[in-house]
Amino acid sequence: MKQVSFEGIGQVMATFPAAQDAQGGEKVAEGIPVKLGATGVVDVCADSDAFIGVARAVRDGCAAVQVRGFVQVKATGSISAGMVNLAADGTGGVKQSSSGKSYLVAETGGETITILL
């Protein structure tokens, strides 16, 4: 049984307009890292993009984005705990990247990691 939890610690959320696809549907999905465009709209990240946070809820053209605190996110490749440079992987997760921003990786395991934004 897991005895350590980072859930909710330091959590700060901000609501942004969310990018839509050509048919007017939501592009941004819950649980993925997002970037902020020049117009103030959050969008899905391409491979190696810097991310501002993780979408926690998407509804009616808006996204609630967690911009601070501990958050669990899908990870690509082997990522160790500690200070790690991360960038978006282009598939809804993050990856280790020499050019990425430094984040504290507090927990690893399976296909997800817990990071401090």
Same domain, 36 and 55: yes
End-to-end CA distance of the chain: 26
Q: Which domain holds residue 30?
A: 12-68
Closest to 50 (Cα-Cα) out of 40, 59, 37 = 37
Q: Report pLDDT digits (tens) over 7-39.
A: 899 999 999 999 998 888 899 999 999 999 999
Give pTM, 2 decimals: 0.93
Are both 54 and 90 inside the same structural domain? no
pLDDT in tens, 42-98: 999 999 999 999 999 999 999 999 999 999 999 999 999 999 999 999 999 999 999
Same domain, 47 and 78: no
Strand partners, 36: 42
The answer to whether the beta carbons of residues 19 and 39 sit under 8 Å apart is no
**Is 94 domain-assigned?**
yes
What is the spatial distance between Cα 94 and Cα 89, in angstroms, rounded to a whole number?
5
* Co-location of 20 and 64 in the same domain: yes
